[in-house]
């Protein structure tokens, strides 16, 4: 089967990540403990 190919829209993505690095890290630090808690409740 042929795969549908989409245009690569990731040019400049790393710059955008660096631009928002502090916000991304802050959100991750809130999210990850919640994820660990959820995973622990459901898988162990």
How much is the pLDDT for 13? 92
Tokens of 24: 């991304």
How much is the pLDDT for 44? 58
Nearest to 28 by CA among 8, 40, 36, 9: 36
All structural domains of the chain with their residue ranges: 7-43
Q: What is the pLDDT of residues 1-43, one digit of tens each?
A: 567 788 878 899 999 999 999 999 999 999 999 999 999 877 6
pTM of the predicted structure, to 2 decimals: 0.61
Q: Percent helix, strand and coil across the chain, each rounded to 5?
A: 70, 0, 30
């Amino acid at each position: 089967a042929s795969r549908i190919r989409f245009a690569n829209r990731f040019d400049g993505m790393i710059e955008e990540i660096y631009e928002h690095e502090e916000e991304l890290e802050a959100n991750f630090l809130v999210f990850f403990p919640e994820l660990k808690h959820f995973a622990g409740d459901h898988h162990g």
